[in-house]
Structure 1
Amino acid sequence: MKKVYCTVLSLMFPLLGFAESGEKKTKSDTLTTVAEVKEDEESKGTFAFSGYLDSYYMANFNKPLSRSNMGAAGTARVFDRKSGQFSLGLVQAKAVYTNAKSEAVVDLTFGPNADYGNYGNLLSPLDGSKTGTALAIKQAYFTYKFTDKFSMTAGQFGTHIGYEVIDAPANYNYSLSNLFNNGPFYHAGLKATYAFSDKASLMLGVVNNVDGLGDNNRKKGLIGQFFFSPVANWNVYVNAITSNEANVDEATGKEPDAFYRVFDLTTSYQVTENFLLGLNAAYGMQKGEYQGYAGPEDSESWGGVAVYANTKISDNFGIGARYEYFNNDNGVRGVLAYPGGAGTAAIGTKVNSVTLTGNITLADGHILLKPEFRLDAYPKAGTGKSEQFEDSDGAFTKSSQTTFGLAFIYKF
C-alpha cells in the first residue's frame, strides 16, 4: 500500500509545482507542465464504432410475375427492388477517430444495397461475374482542421448533393426518391470547407468524377456547396457539380466534348419541436457520353422537386409524407419508358410519386420499424403500347405501381 501511495504522489508532484528531488519549481515551469498535459489529452482523441443493418418486405399490388419493383426501365426504385419476399438491404460498420485537429472515417458496407450504392466500382459489377474488397468501401476519408474555421478532406466521401442519403436510419422514408437515384452517390477527391460563422459556410472541391473510385478520363470534376441558416432551425444548402463523364476515346486518346452538371437546393425547417418541413429541388444538364452510355449531342436537361413533411406523434411513433415530381422528358437520366416493348428504343418520361412512412422506435431507439405505402404514377403509353409496369402474367400493362411494406432496421 505504501508503494502505491508513493507512486501516486510522485505522479502528482509535477502538477503541484514541486520537483521530486525536493527542489522548488518556478511558476513558469508549472504552467508549461499543465499545458503539456492538456496538449497530450487533446492529441489522444476519441474512437467511435457504429453501424446498422436493415431488411424489408415489400408487397406490390400489381403482383408482377418477376417479383420486381423496377419497372420497364429498371430504375423505378433504388434499393427496395424486390417484392413478395423478405430481402436484405445493407449492413454497415463505421469507425471514426477524432482529435482536436483531425478526423478519420472508415465506412464499410455489405449486402445488396452496398452493391447498388457502389455501382461505379468496376471491381464489383452487379452481374456477379467478379468480386472485390473495394465493394465494401462506402466512405474512406480524413479531415484536417487548419483552424477552427478552415478544414480540408481527402479520400472517398458521400456526395453533398440531395436531401436523402444511402443510410436507411438517417432517412425518414425507407424507399428513396428519384432525385436521389438520378443524382451522384459518392466521389473520390479533395475538398475544403471554410466556416464564416456557425450560420454560413462554403465548400469547394476537386473530384475524379461521379460514382467511381478511379477516373475514366483526365478531366476533373468541380463540386461546391454553400450553407446558410437564415433563422434558427432553418438550414439551406445550395449544391453544384460540373464534370466531364465521357470515357477516353480509345482511337485518339482524347476526351470527347461532354459535360454533366447538377444544381441542387436542399432545405429543412423545424417548424415546431414535433413538426419538420423539407424541400429538395434539382436541375441537371448533360451533353455527350456519360461513362460509356450514349448521350445527347446538344445539351439536354432534367429535373425534379420533392417536398417532405414529418411529424412526431409520440416518443415512439411518428409519420412522414413525401411528394415528388421528376421530369426526364428529354431522356437524359434513367427514368425512361419503352412503349414499343422490350428491346425497342427508350423515350424520356416523367413520374409523380407519393410516399407515406411510419416510424416506430423500440429498444431505446436502436430498433426502427418503418411501415410504408408508395404510389408511382407514369403517363399512360396508349392503346396497344407497352406500359411501365408488369402484371401477374408478366405483361407490361400497368402505368402505375403501388407498394406497401415494412422495413426492419437495427442501429448501434
Structure 2
Amino acid sequence: MKNSMKCVVALLITGSVINGSTAQTTSLTTAERQEIINQVKQAVLDSLHNDNNPQKETFKHLTVSGYLETYYSYDFANPSNHVRQPFVYSFNRHNEVNLNFGVIKTSYDNKKIRANLGLMAGTYSNDNLAAEPGVIKNVFEANAGFKLSKTKQLWLDAGIFSSHIGFESAIGKDCWNLTRSLMADNSPYYETGVKISYTSDNEKWFVSGLILNGWQRVYRPDGNNTPAFGHQLTWKPNEKLTLNSSSFIGSDAPDSIRVMRYFHNLYGMFQFNDYIGLTLGFDIGIQQNSKGSNQYNPWYSPVAILRISPSEKTAIGIRGEYYSDAKGTIIATGTPNGFQTWGYSINFDYNINKYFIWRIEGRGFTSKDQIFMLNNAPSNHNFFVTTSLAVSF
C-alpha cells in the first residue's frame, strides 16, 4: 500500500513511478498513467458508494430546502405608519418593498427517527411571533420524533411545528392565493407541544392527537398552566379529494381568569381536473365570557376559493370569505357590531420556472361597521393590491 501511494504521488507530480526496492525511477507511458488515474477515480467512487460509509449513511437522509418571498403592497387607505390592518399577519406593510417570509430548513429522516430545524425572517415572523421573546421569533420549526412501531407509521414528535389547523401556511407557493384568508390569519400558524400521529398503510388516512402550550404559543402566557389539546383527521382517498377536521381546546389566559376556548376547523379540497380546483373551509369557535361562566362568545368564518389553471405556468385564484366576531373575541374593533366583514380577492400566478413564481392580487374588505379608513375618514371598505416574487429550492 505504501509503495502504491508513492506511485500515485510520483505519477501526479512527474509522470514517473518510484521503484521502492531499487530507488530507481521508471517512466510510464501515457496509457499507463491514464490507467492508474482511472483506477484511483474508481476507488474513490467505490468508497463514496459504499453502503457502510457512515458519512454517506448520514447525508443520504439529510435534506436542505429554502423559500424566500418578497412583496410590495399598496393599500388605498394609505396608512402613514405603513401598517395595513391589525387583523392581518402576512404581507402587512403598505407602500414598501419588503420580505414577507424567508426560511432555510434542514430535515433528517431515516424512517426511524426524524427532525426538522427551520430558521426564518420577514414581516410574517415579526407579526405572528410578536409575543415571543428574543431569538424564538426567528424559529420556524424545531422538532424531533421517533417511530413507535416497526410495521406501522406511528410517530411521536415534540417541539415547534407548523399548525395542524387549516389548509394554508407561511409557504406562499403552496397556497392558492397570494395573501392568506381571514380565517388563516386569525387562527394558529404554528404551535409547540407533543403529538402522536398515525398514517394508514394505504396513506389515505392521517390522524393525530396533540398536547400544546396554547393558541399559537411557544412560551406559555404568564400564569397559564392549563394544557391545550388538539386533533387532526385527514382523509385523502386520491389526489383529487382531501377532507380535513382539526380542533383546539384550551385557554390563552392566566389560570386566575381562565376562559376556555373551543375551536374547530373543517375544509375540503376538490380537484375536478387538471384545470379547475375548489377549496371550501369553515372555522367556528366559542370562548367563555368569564371564568366558570356558562355564557360563550362565538365566532365563525366560511371561505371558498376557486383555482383555474389555464396552463402549466399560469393560474388564477378567486376567493370569497366572511368573518363574524361580533364580541371581539379574536378581532377586537371597539365598535357596536364588532368584526363582521366580507372579503373578496382575485390573483394571477406565473411560474417563471421551477424555482421562481410571480404573483399579483387585488383584494377588498367590506365591514358592517366603519372599521377602516379611506381619505382620512372612517369607512366600511378597504382595498389593496399586492405583488410578490418567490423563490424555492
TM-score, L = length of structure 1: 0.77
- Structure 2 spans left out of the alignment, 5+ residues: 5-35
How big is each residue's C-alpha offset from its partner over 1:231-285, in whole Å with a ceiling of 9 and x where there is no partner?
5521111111101222143xxxxxx442112111122121112221111111101
Structure 1 contact 239–264 (Cα < 8 Å) conserved = yes
Matches within 5 A, 1:214-233: 214-216=219-221, 217-233=224-240
Give the counterpart of 1:333 among 310, 330, 334: 330
Does the C-alpha gap of structure 1 residues 6 and 280 become closer, same or farther in structure 2, counting only changes over 3 Å?
closer
Residue 146 of structure 2 aligns to which amino acid in structure 1?
Answer: Y
Give the CA deviation at 1:44. 5.8
Q: 1:295/1:361 Cα in 2 relative to 1: closer, same or farther (>3 Å)?
A: farther
- SS across alignment from 2:200: strand
Q: How does 1:13-412 map onto structure 2 within 5 Å? A: 45-70=60-85, 74-75=86-87, 77-121=88-132, 123=133, 132-147=134-149, 148-197=152-201, 198-216=203-221, 217-249=224-256, 256-288=257-289, 298-334=295-331, 336-339=332-335, 347-362=337-352, 364-379=353-368, 381=369, 387-392=370-375, 394-396=376-378, 398-412=379-393
Deviations 1:294-316 (A, max 9, x none): 99882111011111111211222
> 1:296 touches 1:332 (CA, 8 Å); kept in 2?
no
| Rg larger in structure | 2
Give the secondary-structure state (helix, strand or coil) at the position aligned to 2:338.
strand
Question: Counterparts of 2:265 and 2:196 in 1: how far apart (Å)?
Answer: 19
Which residue of structure 2 aligns with residue 23 of structure 1? none
* Pairwise CA RMSD: 3.0
Report what 2:23 is aligned to.
none
Counterpart amino acid of residue 184 in structure 1: P
CA distance in 1, matches of 2:41, 2:315: 56
Q: In structure 2, do the counterparts of structure 1 residues 184 and 359 end up closer, same or farther at CA, with 3 Å as the change threshold?
A: same
SS in 1 for 2:298: strand
Q: Distance in 2 between matches of 1:318 and 1:8?
A: 48
Q: Distance in 2 between matches of 1:45 and 1:57?
A: 39
Question: Deviation string for 1:86-123 (max 9, x for gaps)?
Answer: 232122111112212122110111122111121331x1
Q: What is the DSSP-based 3-state SS (H/G/I as helix, E as strand, rest coil) of the residue aligned with 1:180? A: helix
Indicate conservation of the 8 Å contact 2:341/2:367, yes or no.
yes
Q: CA deviation at 1:150?
A: 0.7
- Percent identity (aligned): 18
**Conserved? CA contact 1:78–1:181, under 8 Å:** yes
Amino acid at match of 1:410: V
For 2:310, what is the secondary structure of its paired residue? Answer: strand
Tell me which of the two structures has the higher relative contact order, counting C-alpha pairs closer than 8 angstroms and 6 or more residues apart. 1
Following superposition, the deviation at residue 331 of structure 1 comes to 2.2
Alignment size in residue pairs:
350
